[in-house]
């Protein structure tokens, strides 16, 4: 039995007190992985951005808004976990300045200067020591090459490659890639079905018994 950390859902980057940038991640894959991990007898800690789905009640959930908050919470929780599954879709950019008051229309174009946010999986991957890290990559071209490049860059032990159809949908079709570049498995089905199979592979290859 392991204690597993999951990052899940999107993040929000505020522009002013009422407007933000985000993406279409639903948190459904994270929820399915949490259910599969619990069913396999593991303890589950989730750091999640805002989602409307309900995570299993046996999981401990830490709610965050921004990518920086997700990194801070995940870093703290990772200390007490054996591995991380990074299924969240954190915003890669944030406005350089968050305005204190609601932006009023001026009749002129509004230019937003965006700067990069930290990468949660890459940061925890670099700090993982004897823990394991599973990343997700959503790619539209040169899929396998790009996913394997991310696997290496983010110090992952496995990378789950999926396509844009995974966003906000019921089903998923993924390839599980290993550090040596091999395709460990090709999985297709509903998100709960794919999650169970991913957890079986994680259990066999990464979790120490």
Q: Which residues are catalytic?
A: 23
What one-character-per-residue DSSP string does 14-78 give?
EEETTEEE-----SHHHHHHHHHHHHTT-EEEEEE-S-SS---TTSEEEE-SSHHHHHHHHHHHH
Q: Does 162 bind ligand C5P (CB under 6 A)?
A: no
The reply to whether 121 sits near ligand C5P by the rule CB under 6 A is yes
Q: Nearest distance from residue 107's CB to ligand C5P, in Å? A: 35
Smaller CB distance to ligand C5P: residue 17 or 116? 116
Q: Which is nearer to ligand C5P, 83 or 135 (CB)?
A: 135
Antiparallel, parallel or unpaired: β 158-162 and 132-138: parallel
In angstroms, give the least distance from the CB of 102 to ligand C5P: 27
Give the integer Cα–Cα distance in Å for 163 and 166.
6
C-beta of 101: minimal distance to ligand C5P in Å?
28
Tell me whether residue 121 or residue 202 sits nearer to ligand C5P (CB atom).
121
Structure tokens at 196: 């169970």
Asked if 46 is part of the footprint of ligand C5P (rule: CB under 6 A), the reply reads: no
How far CA 49 is from CA of 94, 111, 157, 172, 177, in Å, comes to 15, 26, 24, 21, 26
Residue 117: strand pairing partners: none
Span interacting with ligand C5P, options 23-31, 36-44, 135-143, 182-190, rule CB under 6 A = 135-143
| Contact track, ligand C5P, 83-102, x by CB under 6 A | ---x-x-x-x----------
Helices (H) and strands (E) in the chain, counts: 5, 12
Q: Binding residues for ligand C5P, per CB under 6 A?
A: 7, 67, 86, 88, 90, 92, 117, 119-121, 135-138, 150, 154
């Amino acid at each position: 039995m392991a204690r597993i950390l999951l990052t899940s859902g999107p993040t929000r980057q505020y522009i002013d007190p009422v407007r933000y940038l985000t993406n279409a991640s639903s948190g459904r894959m994270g929820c399915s992985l949490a259910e599969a991990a619990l069913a396999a007898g593991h303890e589950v800690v989730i750091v999640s951005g805002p989602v409307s789905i309900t995570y299993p009640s046996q999981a401990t959930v830490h709610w965050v808004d921004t990518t920086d908050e997700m990194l801070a919470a995940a870093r703290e929780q990772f200390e007490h976990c054996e591995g991380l599954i990074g299924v969240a879709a954190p915003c890669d950019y944030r406005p350089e300045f968050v305005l204190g008051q609601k932006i009023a229309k001026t009749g002129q174009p509004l230019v937003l200067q965006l700067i990069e946010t930290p990468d949660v999986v890459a940061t925890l991957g670099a700090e993982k020591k004897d823990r394991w890290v599973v990343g997700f990559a959503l790619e539209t071209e040169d899929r396998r090459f790009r996913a394997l490049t991310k696997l290496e860059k983010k110090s992952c032990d496995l990378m789950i490659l999926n396509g844009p159809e995974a966003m906000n949908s019921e089903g998923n079709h993924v390839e599980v890639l290993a550090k040596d570049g091999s395709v460990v498995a090709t999985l297709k089905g509903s998100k709960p079905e794919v999650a169970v199979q991913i957890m079986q592979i994680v259990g066999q290859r990464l979790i120490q018994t």
